[in-house]
Structure 1
Amino acid sequence: MTTMQRSGTTRTLSTLRDSGGAVTSRVRRTVLPSGLRIVTEQMAGARSATIGVWVDVGSRDETTRLHGCSHFLEHLLFKGTRERSALDISVALDAVGGEFNAFTAKEYTCFHARVLDEDLPLAIDVLGDMVTSSVITDEDVEAEREVILDEIAMHDDDPDDVVHTLFAEQAWGATSPLGRSIAGTAESITALDRARIWRFYQRHYRPEHMVVSVAGNLDHAAVVRHVRRAFGRGDWLSGDAEPVGPRRGGRRVRVRPGEVETTRPFEQVNVVLGMEAFGREDDRRFALGVLNTALGGGTSSRLFQEIRERRGLAYSVYSFTSHYADSGVVGVAVGCLPAKLDEVLTTVRLELSRVAAHGITDDELVRGKGQLRGGLVLGLEDSASRMIRLGKAELVHDELLEIDEVMARIDAVTLDEVRDVAAEVFSRKEILAVVGPH
């Protein structure tokens, strides 16, 4: 485990070698005087590189009047800068076969691009220009407002999106930052104007709040030079600041049990049933991960076998966990025909009560660990997944766990630990969200 210390210029965080002594991966970190952090992973044999620009602001940082602003701003930063139009931004990366996009979460925003290694300087320049030098015109705000309203309407037509939104609203409250939807509502997006979005941009998109993570065939020193040039427009990197540390838990945000349902003209009923769990820094998250995988993480999982294979009650059934700095939930999601809803809920509750009382079996423990280990390693086979690992480690966790260390923590999970977690979590009061025909 490497802690992301807040001082210093450049340091090597980890180096991996093959059996012959050749370096297969090297992670290095540089902190600029402005507080901007640059973390890279050199991957032997790769011909691509992926860059991510991470900002420690998300939907939970918005006031009620700014609901949806983080996501709105994410869209707007693709609309043009003082040097590039929206078309210029698209053409620059399309011309080299690059892939680029962005996403907004509840606790951060990320802009990313994947390119051939030789085109990495171009990707750095384009993303640096976008996040530091956007002009955000009134015309762009009005045009993108309609796009976002269409996106909200699209999500409103997706039963899975609707039920998870409803579940979050019940769990944390419709007016609380964690309970609100990331995209905002039609009313909140309609009310946002250019002045408010611009102030939000100027306040949050500062060097000390950002991380540039890059993985692939690269040279760290060259990446740092390109970042200094690309992000230095308009003296954006001027001044001294300490990087802002990860969001800490502090006072725990409690989850509210209860039931909520809404009627929609869908063919199926979609259900999410869950309970309060742990924040992302809780060491019990590894036992919960094994439990979640054994319970509903694949086709061999207990819920899939019981609900789909044996009883034929539903096509889609899975369990999930969501972890934030100061809160978390675990849940089960099912889509079924309306006539089968009662039996589905009875079966899910029965399985959860069994796990709470008796834990999981030896075979389920082995399969759960194996699935987590395999998913972890296979998920790090490309530069994009490595970039995400670096960005989250720096921005969210303040530590970079070596792959072997994560595997060791998974392997160390015992049946007793899983049983204790199951007994604690699944004995809590339910949060139930139901969406479908009356």
Structure 2
Amino acid sequence: MPVKKQILSNNITLITQPVLNSRVTTFGFYFSVGSRFENEGEHGISHFTEHMLFKGTASKSNREISLVFDRMGGIFNAFTERENVGVYCTVPSESMENYKVALDTLCDLTENCTFPPEEMEKERGVVQSEILAVLDDPDDSAMDEVASCVWPNQKLSLAITGTSDDVNSITREQMLGWYKKYFTEGELVVIVCGRIDEEFLVETLQALSTHRPALEFFRHSHFSEKALWNVEKRILKARFSQTQIFCMYPLSSLLSFEEYISLLIFNSAAGETMSSRLFSSLREQSGLCYSVGSFYTTYENAGLWSAYAVCEKSNAAQVYRRLSDEISGFLENQISDEEIEISKERLCGSEILGETRTAFLMQRLWNFYSMGFPLCGTEKILAGIRSAEKRDIIEFIAKLLNEEKKASLVYGPSLSSRQKKEILCQKK
């Protein structure tokens, strides 16, 4: 059924996608705030506030909030990223009572949280434990270092959780002000997919406080500073047993929908699947590593595409060379007809499978909204993938893989002088 976008009288942006005969509803509340909004003395406050949303409102205790979703077998969670905080749930809505209770609870969290002092002190310890867990996790730690490598000394590279010292300094008064500014009165986009009672949905959301109008992300930005890309080969010691290697290229945040489709096809062919070039070359043919692939991420005025591999320390220089060679191969040999066909069919299959999951539909709508794309359904997306032309994909790849803008990060146990020299002296 068609996707609908409307701006409510209190400036909340509401996006809905009804699913015929669905017995499930997914609600997503997206607030425009995150670590990139934070200044000195505020680092980690968005993430800490997200934790505290669950700790009680004027009408519900933290346990009562949990029981709302546990009793109906629903999924309820939240996350903090660099530019947004999301609170979401998926509930069985065959009984519209579940639908109404879930929506009422999310609205309650949006403007009635009380931040009990005793709960805040307990959760402060939980957040500090999470910070330590991130430091102990090779993947999470590496992603923070990736951001620091390509956007050094910029807000975009700040750790989402902040440091233990940052979290320890946040006061309840600070958090109350942050909550009011960015959650109760800030920009709010609500996305609902599945079984929908639109009349009740609109009526309930319009009863909330007036919010700031949401920016159209693809035309404006919350951030006046440019995200300056850093071209560097960085070798960084870490206390983990394996070496993580990243080869990174800047990705425009102003992609057209057609360029986005080219990105999806290229990323699939490069490293997202078991038949991809990176997986086939570095793992299946060479046995150089267990984990290898590619990914991309976009922000309001920045983005990156990266190939990566995780290997033993002794293979670091060889893996870096092979990773670089395979990426360059897309410029020298270009993407083949077979790779394009495989990628297209895989992407179409994923979209068709995702159509059965309301959480997938919600996330897709948020991605499209935040990137300024048409809020379309599955059929139009499938048509866009299937109609992508090889020449456009090749042109996109050539523009993306600009070797003069390539940045690299080798992150892991200490390498020998010979290994460092091999990596640093490689031209690619």
TM-score by length of 2: 0.89
Question: Cα distance 1:299–1:398, how it changes in 2: closer, same or farther (>3 A)?
Answer: closer
Q: 8 Å contact 1:258–1:431 — kept in the other structure?
A: yes
* Equivalence map 1:198-237=2 (5 Å): 198-206=176-184, 209-228=187-206, 232=207, 236-237=208-209
Aligned mate of 1:245, from 216, 223, 226: 216
User: Offset of 1:313 from its aligned partner?
Assistant: 0.3
Matched, 1:267 2:238: no
User: Offset of 1:132 from its aligned partner?
Assistant: 1.0
Aligned mate of 1:168, from 147, 150, 165: 147
The corresponding residue for 2:317 is 342
* Equivalence map 1:10-409=2 (5 Å): 25-117=1-93, 118=95, 119-173=98-152, 175-206=153-184, 209-228=187-206, 232=207, 236-237=208-209, 242-246=213-217, 248=219, 253-283=227-257, 284-394=259-369, 397=372, 399-409=374-384
Q: Would you say how many aligned residue pairs link Structure 1 and Structure 2? A: 406
- Provide the C-alpha distance between the structure 1 equivalents of 2:140 and 2:8, rounded to a whole number of angstroms: 40
- Provide the C-alpha distance between the structure 1 equivalents of 2:220 and 2:255, rounded to a whole number of angstroms: 8
The corresponding residue for 2:426 is none
Question: Cα distance 1:339–1:394, how it changes in 2: closer, same or farther (>3 A)?
Answer: closer
- Return the letter of the residue paired with 2:92: L
The corresponding residue for 1:14 is none
User: Offset of 1:371 from its aligned partner?
Assistant: 1.9
> Aligned with 1:40: secondary structure?
strand
User: Offset of 1:165 from its aligned partner?
Assistant: 1.1
Q: 8 Å contact 2:271–2:294 — kept in the other structure?
A: yes
Q: 8 Å contact 2:56–2:62 — kept in the other structure?
A: yes
- Provide the C-alpha distance between the structure 1 equivalents of 2:214 and 2:303, rounded to a whole number of angstroms: 26
- Return the letter of the residue paired with 1:215: C
User: Offset of 1:382 from its aligned partner?
Assistant: 1.2
- Provide the C-alpha distance between the structure 2 equivalents of 1:420 and 1:395, rounded to a whole number of angstroms: 24
Question: Cα distance 1:398–1:314, how it changes in 2: closer, same or farther (>3 A)?
Answer: closer
- Return the letter of the residue paired with 1:246: F
Q: 8 Å contact 1:320–1:330 — kept in the other structure?
A: yes
Deviations 1:252-297 (A, max 9, x none): 5231111333333322111222111221534523222211110101
Deviations 1:186-220 (A, max 9, x none): 23222222222221111112456112221112221
User: Offset of 1:406 from its aligned partner?
Assistant: 2.4
TM-score by length of 1: 0.87
Q: 8 Å contact 2:3–2:376 — kept in the other structure?
A: no
> Aligned with 2:55: secondary structure?
coil
Q: 8 Å contact 1:167–1:433 — kept in the other structure?
A: yes
- Provide the C-alpha distance between the structure 2 equivalents of 1:396 and 1:278, rounded to a whole number of angstroms: 11
User: Offset of 1:388 from its aligned partner?
Assistant: 2.4
* % identity of equivalent residues: 28
Q: 8 Å contact 1:278–1:327 — kept in the other structure?
A: yes
- Provide the C-alpha distance between the structure 1 equivalents of 2:2 and 2:395, rounded to a whole number of angstroms: 38
Report the more deviating stretch, 305-314 or 347-356.
347-356
User: Offset of 1:135 from its aligned partner?
Assistant: 1.0
Q: 8 Å contact 1:259–1:433 — kept in the other structure?
A: yes
Report the more deviating stretch, 393-402 or 335-344.
393-402
Report the more deviating stretch, 102-111 or 33-42.
33-42
Question: Cα distance 1:82–1:241, how it changes in 2: closer, same or farther (>3 A)?
Answer: same
> Aligned with 1:215: secondary structure?
strand
Q: 8 Å contact 1:35–1:207 — kept in the other structure?
A: no
> Aligned with 2:154: secondary structure?
coil
- Return the letter of the residue paired with 2:235: E
- Provide the C-alpha distance between the structure 2 equivalents of 1:243 and 1:108, rounded to a whole number of angstroms: 12
Question: Cα distance 1:264–1:375, how it changes in 2: closer, same or farther (>3 A)?
Answer: same
Report the more deviating stretch, 408-417 or 153-162.
408-417
Question: Cα distance 1:305–1:416, how it changes in 2: closer, same or farther (>3 A)?
Answer: same
- Return the letter of the residue paired with 1:225: E
Q: 8 Å contact 1:50–1:384 — kept in the other structure?
A: yes
User: Offset of 1:396 from its aligned partner?
Assistant: 5.3
Q: 8 Å contact 2:265–2:344 — kept in the other structure?
A: yes
5+ unaligned residues in a row in structure 2: which ranges? Answer: 415-428
Question: Cα distance 1:423–1:28, how it changes in 2: closer, same or farther (>3 A)?
Answer: closer
After superposition, the CA RMSD in angstroms is 2.1
> Aligned with 1:100: secondary structure?
strand
Q: 8 Å contact 1:28–1:220 — kept in the other structure?
A: no
Q: 8 Å contact 1:163–1:272 — kept in the other structure?
A: no
- Return the letter of the residue paired with 2:54: F
Question: Cα distance 1:264–1:334, how it changes in 2: closer, same or farther (>3 A)?
Answer: same
- Provide the C-alpha distance between the structure 2 equivalents of 1:326 and 1:412, rounded to a whole number of angstroms: 28
Report the more deviating stretch, 32-41 or 141-150.
32-41
5+ unaligned residues in a row in structure 1: which ranges? Answer: 1-24
- Provide the C-alpha distance between the structure 2 equivalents of 1:184 and 1:248, rounded to a whole number of angstroms: 29
User: Offset of 1:429 from its aligned partner?
Assistant: 3.1
Q: 8 Å contact 2:355–2:378 — kept in the other structure?
A: no
Deviations 1:11-45 (A, max 9, x none): xxxxxxxxxxxxxx243344322112332222112
Question: Cα distance 1:301–1:189, how it changes in 2: closer, same or farther (>3 A)?
Answer: same
